[in-house]
A and B are shown apart, each in its own frame.
Chain A
Amino acid sequence: MNEPSYPFSRVDDRFVFEFDSISDTKTVKKLVEFRLLDAQIALYNLALVDILPDGAASDLSVSNNQDMPKVLATVFRALLYFFERNSQAKVLIQGSTKSRTRLYQMAIVKYLAEVEHKFSIWGFIEEDFETFVRGKNYDGFIIGQK
């Protein structure tokens, strides 16, 4: 993957990672967590939040740091790290809002060519999952290793 990304570190024994989104004007700390939702099907959820300077947190990563491609590339690298240690897991990706989900969808399209040999990606549409298709709008996604 050629897209620049930020270095990230694993915070604790859980699959929680943090990194700094850096621009000329500010640095925003971001946290990515993969949390187990359903042990029977090894389904994890991916969550991305901003940590604010006072320790509070925002559920939307809209820090306007003009680096969203780099942020998404970092999240993608964290996803790869996660799958290296959880090869049987599946990860649910869903935005807090429709626009957030669209953003994730754009990132999936961007990286699809380089990951589709290794990962299966499904999109959720009309209460069902189907193999991810470019150009279709989905309500959420599941990614698993082939």
Chain B
Amino acid sequence: MKNKQPIVKDKDQKIYKTVEEALDAKHDLAKKFLAKIDTTKIATLGQKL
């Protein structure tokens, strides 16, 4: 990879080759987050809407 320097240094920042990769990484993180949750509870929240 060339020229993959972060705009500012941040120990948690990750740089991806493409926008799609970055978006996929973000959404994968959300999926991992959801895996910890009983999604039926989210469905219940939906019923309250």
Contact = CB atoms under 8 A, between A and B. Distances in A.
Interface residues of A, number: 46
Interface residues of B, number: 37
B29 A94 contact: yes
A35 interface: yes
A47 B27 contact: yes
Interface of A: 28, 31, 33, 35, 37-38, 40-43, 45, 47-52, 54-60, 62-64, 88, 90, 92, 94, 96-97, 99, 120, 122, 124, 127-129, 139-140, 142, 144-146
A63 B7 contact: yes
Q: Which 8 residue pairs of A and B lie closest in terms of their CB atoms, listed nearest first?
A: A57-B22, A47-B26, A45-B30, A49-B22, A60-B13, A57-B19, A41-B43, A97-B12
